[in-house]
Amino acid sequence: MSLIDTILGRPLASREAGEQRIGIARGVATFGLDALSSAAYGPEAALTVLLPLGAAGLTFILPITTAIVILLGIVYFSYRQTIAAYPNGGGSYTVARENLGANAGLLAAAALMTDYVLNVAVGISAGVGALISAVPNLQPYTLTLCLVILVLLTLVNLRGVGAAGTLFLLPTCIFIVSLCATVAWGVLATISAGGHPQSVVPPAPLPKVAEVVSVWLLLRAFASGCTAMTGVEAVSNGVQAFREPVVANARRTLTIIIAILIVLLLGIAYLARAYHIGATEPGTPQYQSVLSQLIGAVAGRGIFYWISIVAILVVLCLSANTSFADFPRLCHAVASDGYLPYSFTDRGRRLVYSEGIWVLAILSGVLLTAFGGVTDRLIPLFAVGAFLAFTLSQSGMVAHWWKSQERGALASMAVNALGASATTLTVVVVAVVKFMAGAWIVVLLVPSLVALMLAVRRHYRRIERETAPRGLKLNDLREPLVIVPIIAWNSIAENALRVALSLSREVEVLHVESEDSDAKSLKELWPSCVEQPAREAKQAIPRLTVLKSPFRFVVQPILDHVLEVERKNPNRTIAVLLPELVERQWYQYFLHNQRARILAARLLLQGEHRIVIVNVPWYLRKRR
Amino acid sequence: MSLIDTILGRPLASREAGEQRIGIARGVATFGLDALSSAAYGPEAALTVLLPLGAAGLTFILPITTAIVILLGIVYFSYRQTIAAYPNGGGSYTVARENLGANAGLLAAAALMTDYVLNVAVGISAGVGALISAVPNLQPYTLTLCLVILVLLTLVNLRGVGAAGTLFLLPTCIFIVSLCATVAWGVLATISAGGHPQSVVPPAPLPKVAEVVSVWLLLRAFASGCTAMTGVEAVSNGVQAFREPVVANARRTLTIIIAILIVLLLGIAYLARAYHIGATEPGTPQYQSVLSQLIGAVAGRGIFYWISIVAILVVLCLSANTSFADFPRLCHAVASDGYLPYSFTDRGRRLVYSEGIWVLAILSGVLLTAFGGVTDRLIPLFAVGAFLAFTLSQSGMVAHWWKSQERGALASMAVNALGASATTLTVVVVAVVKFMAGAWIVVLLVPSLVALMLAVRRHYRRIERETAPRGLKLNDLREPLVIVPIIAWNSIAENALRVALSLSREVEVLHVESEDSDAKSLKELWPSCVEQPAREAKQAIPRLTVLKSPFRFVVQPILDHVLEVERKNPNRTIAVLLPELVERQWYQYFLHNQRARILAARLLLQGEHRIVIVNVPWYLRKRR
């Protein structure tokens, strides 16, 4: 136990839940990394689509980013309302379920779950991939590194939400400070240079024009840039992780995350245009990330550059942690409504929903292993889920305002309707653009998950219906018929028979006699060892039944006999008493046959309703 | 069941045992293949050691073979006596145990078991190896072929001893007839040519002299040639497989096997000298087996040659079957005395000792897999065990005659003493010569096996002692204290409580309340749903105990409470009643927690002596 205590921390009592809650700073580190890290790849994704336009592409990046930021603002506004309306957490799932019905909620849940699992695999392998491009000697250990990071993240999250927040605070701060400093520095330099700053390290030259601008290209650039918005729903799922006042703290955390993200997105777009920074073709030796070019252009390749680059890599890697914070909470919310196994609602020793953490770790571990730690092919699957969830959440808020009597509800509804339209458009564009590249998997997977959750719910409902509480019925209570199968007369059998007689006056001892064996000893001992003492103690006398087994089967004749007794005695409980030698060492398992266990399992499966199994253990004396 | 019936045959009743017994012809095919196939490699092994002597080596092969044949005669005589003295089978194990004590018997058993497992692996891989040298394209499938043959042999043997004998009769006949015909033909040709016959296909030229003859070299040649004697003990282990009169039939079978083996050994040695056939260096491209050279020299490379070669390959492969016939019988004999798990004494559906067959198949399958189907490195481990068993058996017979009052006992004792000395010498020579090449493994393994069997026996003796039969004690019989842990009040709990009240008037219902959960419903329902009906039915009223669980553990508080009740109530039986929802589909396993099973296992392991577990199943209605 002390080893587990060291790794996972001491068990926390339920009443300590309050002390485990987090404030705003740790909230940003826990729930914000997915959203913030997307500043590192969102603008780059849009610029990559604009590549064929050459230098002209840069004129479009600021409008596209502005559109994304407006969409982000609408989504932010929506989730801000969601946090206040649903302070118990649940985010898109809760909003969609409450306002659009259970199926819409499950659709949002399935979409988010898919995205969370992908996010862990893609986040970790992106971080490890960046590390390996810096230290190519680590190449053979790609998968090992991914799995080590996965195990560490799992352990940190099993220690509780506070541990993760504390541990990730420093890299998050460095990431935010260095990127904001770069933006501020660059903007000042641009203004002081009259809009045409000089790069310290010149960025890669922009390619020649290969295409003319079209609406479809701009739509694709917008859709790709929208990956910057993944992770925005995280806070709304985890409201209950915050310290009192929960709603205010969660809202402030969300505001800070979105504000920083907007500053970074707009700043990067502005500076990309000012410094003439475009994307470089991925997978070529000339490849250099947009942020690397930007920091180099603004600040040169000094110590600041390297600290920033390392912070970006670490934050990319840790963006997986947002999934660890949210996936278990989402599963908890869904399981509370009966759509997932109830065990997802159990809080573990550190008050986190351990089962969700394990399931997430196992699923993403399987993904990482299947793809050998290189998950490039998973990226097209990504973001479809997030935007589907946004759309459902926005639509849910439209329905929410529609039903609401609050002042200003109509204005709020208009904003959410705008957001819903925009995210619907986005999810359609993303799904169409990426369909052949793999988004079809998500399009198949999400409805399957919904079907699975509905099946789980049906099963639980059925059990609930069939086990509905009722008053205790005792009018026809009779003691059970007890059947004791024994192999030979020894003290194990004697002990079992004593227990049998303490339970009922109707006891039948079963003995299977194969023609090989010599059952005489039992029949001979019966009168003196059993009948005589029973008569003397004025107890009921047990009956001995010997079953013939021409084919040497042992379990089958007993099973047949017990089922026959059950059939012949309706309204009686049949207690089958199985004497069992308890093996304290695993290797003793091989020394005794497991027929009692096989018999118990088959009786439970084949019995009608009235067979109960009584295990009577027998212990060897402990050795000195 | 019908698929199993097709593969393994219908179950046989115990009284059909007589019909499963075999006669002499199938006896030779079942128990003789190991011994007979050794004619294919015994003389070759001796000739390989004689290689450095060049042509001069051939002058020694006849005397060496004569010595081996004399030893074989002595061993034959000994086993003939053994069959009569121990008609229930057991061979070396039984003889050694009866006459030299249990440890000597176990030593013989361990040695034979090791040899049987090695024989399966080496036999199959020798056959497959020969097949591959004929069809090199099969090389990549070496291991697969080995395992397929192993599976087939296992299935045939699980079908029963008759099936194996029938199936292997034809290749055995072809093998015996073709080799005896070769010997007869060659001897006639030699005599008619005045001792200097002309080879039809000339054998490989003999190498130049590289060494002078020494006693050590001749001893090594003798030791290697003695591998021709492995498998001779097989019949004596399997006497009970024969039809009545068992002793006479087993003896005749042994006589036929030994007679053919002697004819083949002497014939091969005589013809090797007459036709100037020596061994060729193994592992070189010039390699050709002695028998291949011999048949070619006598009969040319016609259809007869190819039929004979194929028969030799098949019989080499099937020599593994002798192990399958004997290993389970040996294990049965050892297990009957309590030195191995009793399950080795159970006869399966086809009246064979199935467990021994499975264990042999698994062990040799592991060996084949570990060595990739090429078991050359195992050959040095081979034969040490057989000769150790011979030695113990011979020594046992010496002791047997010493105690015997029969006429001629002194003469018999002298023969066995001679045999014991010869086999002792052989085992020492074999172990010393092959020690570094791997025989040391056997020298370590055999005593470990003996220690293991002694430990098994000690365990069984301990159980026997502690469970010695005693009369039923009923003087202090009281109904049990029943404890029912329940999660919520529903019909599963109601059903369990009904069963509990039918067993005892002292029933305690346990409920674990974590601070998270809302246990009010149970406490509120208790008076109306439980106490009221119990009072009305004039039954004892169950007690409700609510346990607090600040750390949300469920199993631990129940366990602690039950152990506490057991401590406080000495002399009482505590029945813990576990309501259980029976899952009929495997996937339902994930939908319900397995706490009841964990609790049952921990109660059985940690309880003192008086806790019994009652499983009360609850079934969902079957779907239409």
Residue B616, classed as helix, strand or coil, is strand
Chain A contact probe: residue of B353, B461, B502 with most A CBs at under 10 A? B502
Percentage of chain A modeled with pLDDT above 70: 94
**pLDDT tens-digit profile of A374-425?**
776 776 677 788 888 889 988 998 898 888 877 878 888 888 888 888 888 8
Of B43, B84, B449, nearest to B235 (Cα)?
Answer: B84
Locate the chain B residue with the closest alpha carbon to A528.
Answer: B471
How many whole angstroms separate alpha carbon A18 and alpha carbon A11? 15
Burial tier of B38 (Cβ tally within 10 Å: 0-12, 13-18, 19+): buried
- pLDDT at residue A182, as a whole number: 93
Q: How many interface pairs between A and B have CB atoms less than 8 angstroms apart?
A: 226
How many whole angstroms separate alpha carbon B514 and alpha carbon B558? 13
Of A504, A492, A539, nearest to A612 (Cα)?
Answer: A504
B residues 385..404 contacting A (CB < 8 A):
none
Using the predicted structure, report yes or no on whether residue A1 has a pLDDT greater than 70.
no
How many whole angstroms separate alpha carbon B391 and alpha carbon B112? 12
**pLDDT tens-digit profile of A535-592?**
988 888 999 999 888 877 888 899 999 999 999 998 899 999 998 887 766 666 666 7
Respond yes or no on whether the N-terminal peptide bond of residue B550 is cis (omega within 30° of 0): no
Locate the chain B residue with the closest alpha carbon to A13.
Answer: B551
How many whole angstroms separate alpha carbon A330 and alpha carbon A109? 7
- pLDDT at residue B520, as a whole number: 61
Which helix or strand (DSSP H or E) is residue B70 part of?
A: helix B58-85
Of B322, B99, B141, nearest to B230 (Cα)?
Answer: B322
- Could you give the C-alpha distances from A86 to A76, A240, A246, A265, A545, in angstroms and in order? 15, 10, 11, 29, 66
pTM for this structure? 0.78
Q: Is B574 within 8 Å of A576 (Cβ atoms)?
A: no
Low-confidence ranges of chain B (pLDDT < 50): 624
- pLDDT at residue A604, as a whole number: 82
Count the neighbouring beta carbons within 10 Å of the beta carbon of residue A152: 11
The percent helix, strand, coil of chain B (3-state, each to 5) is 70, 5, 25
How many whole angstroms separate alpha carbon B69 and alpha carbon B261? 9
**Arithmetic mean of pLDDT, A105-127:** 90
| φ, ψ (nearest 5 deg) of residue A254 | -60, -40
Residues of B in contact with A534 (CB under 8 A): 472, 474
Tell whether A14 is within 8 A of chain B (Cβ).
yes
Q: Is B585 within 8 Å of A575 (Cβ atoms)?
A: no
Q: Is A33 within 8 Å of A321 (Cβ atoms)?
A: yes
Average pLDDT of every residue of chain A:
86
* Chain length of chain A: 624
Tell whether B88 is within 8 A of chain A (Cβ).
no
Q: Kindly state the tokens that stand for A144.
A: 């090992």
Identify the residue whose tokens are 């003469």. B411
B residues 451..510 contacting A (CB < 8 A):
456, 459-460, 462-463, 466-475, 477-480, 488-492, 494, 497-499, 501-504
Of A499, A474, A469, A521, nearest to A578 (Cα)?
Answer: A499
Strand partners of residue B24: none
**pLDDT tens-digit profile of A240-254?**
889 888 999 999 999
One-letter amino acid for residue B88 of the chain: N
Identify the residue whose tokens are 């087994």. A549
- pLDDT at residue B586, as a whole number: 63
- Could you give the C-alpha distances from A225 to A73, A221, A417, in angstroms and in order? 15, 6, 21
- Facing residue for B612 by CB, picked from A477, A499, A590: A499
Using the predicted structure, report yes or no on whether residue A105 has a pLDDT greater than 90.
yes
How many whole angstroms separate alpha carbon B576 and alpha carbon B474? 22
Respond yes or no on whether the N-terminal peptide bond of residue A87 is cis (omega within 30° of 0): no
Contacts with A141 (C-beta within 8 Å, 6 or more apart), sequence order: none
Put simply, the answer to whether A617 touches B600 (Cβ < 8 Å) is: no
Residues of B in contact with A584 (CB under 8 A): 605
Alpha-carbon B95 to chain mean position:
20
Q: How confident is the model at residue A130 (pLDDT cuts 50, 70, 90)?
A: confident
Identify the residue whose tokens are 């080799």. B179
Q: Is A388 within 8 Å of A107 (Cβ atoms)?
A: yes
Query: ipTM of this predicted complex?
Result: 0.80
Q: Is B387 within 8 Å of B423 (Cβ atoms)?
A: yes
Per residue in B382-392, is it b (16+ CB within 10 Å) or e — as a string?
bbbbbbbbbbb
- pLDDT at residue B226, as a whole number: 83
Of B319, B296, B268, B308, nearest to B43 (Cα)?
Answer: B268
- pLDDT at residue B580, as a whole number: 83
Category of A571 on φ-ψ map: left (φ > 0), alpha (ψ -120 to 50) or beta: left
Q: Is B310 within 8 Å of B134 (Cβ atoms)?
A: no
Locate the chain A residue with the closest alpha carbon to B575.
Answer: A614
**Of the candidate ranges A318-327, A426-435, A566-575, the one whose mean pLDDT is the lowest:** A426-435
Identify the residue whose tokens are 């703290």. A249
* Max Cα distance, chain B (Å): 114
Tell whether A597 is within 8 A of chain B (Cβ).
no
- Could you give the C-alpha distances from A455 to A238, A338, A392, B125, B333, in angstroms and in order? 27, 10, 22, 52, 55
How many whole angstroms separate alpha carbon B217 and alpha carbon B211? 10
Of A229, A258, A300, nearest to A45 (Cα)?
Answer: A229
- C-alpha angle with apex B127: B126 to B130, nearest 5 degrees? 85
Strand partners of residue A242: A22
Higher local confidence (pLDDT), A474 or B378:
A474
Put simply, the answer to whether B471 touches A532 (Cβ < 8 Å) is: yes
Higher local confidence (pLDDT), A94 or B8:
A94
Residues of B in contact with A12 (CB under 8 A): 551
Q: Is B505 within 8 Å of B479 (Cβ atoms)?
A: yes
Residues of A in contact with B525 (CB under 8 A): 469
Q: Is B270 within 8 Å of B58 (Cβ atoms)?
A: no
What are the E-state strand segments in B22-168? none
What are the E-state strand segments in A171-271? none
How many whole angstroms separate alpha carbon B623 and alpha carbon B608? 43
Q: Is A386 within 8 Å of A229 (Cβ atoms)?
A: yes
- pLDDT at residue A624, as a whole number: 47
For residue A612, what is the DSSP state? E
Count the neighbouring beta carbons within 10 Å of the beta carbon of residue B622: 6
Q: Kindly state the tokens that stand for A114.
A: 């898919």
Q: Is B502 within 8 Å of B538 (Cβ atoms)?
A: no
Of A318, A282, A311, nearest to A124 (Cα)?
Answer: A318
Contacts with A221 (C-beta within 8 Å, 6 or more apart), sequence order: A46, A49, A50, A60, A64
Contacts with A407 (C-beta within 8 Å, 6 or more apart), sequence order: none
- pLDDT at residue B447, as a whole number: 93
Residues of A in contact with B621 (CB under 8 A): 466
How many whole angstroms separate alpha carbon A264 and alpha carbon B366? 62
How many whole angstroms separate alpha carbon B183 and alpha carbon B175? 12
C-beta contacts of A291-297 below 8 A and 24+ residues apart: A291/A40, A291/A44, A291/A179, A293/A203, A293/A204, A294/A182, A294/A186, A294/A203, A294/A268, A295/A178, A295/A182, A296/A199, A296/A200, A296/A201, A296/A203, A297/A186, A297/A199, A297/A200, A297/A201, A297/A202, A297/A203, A297/A271
Q: Is A75 within 8 Å of A420 (Cβ atoms)?
A: no
Q: Kindly state the tokens that stand for A467.
A: 């086990």
Strand partners of residue A283: none
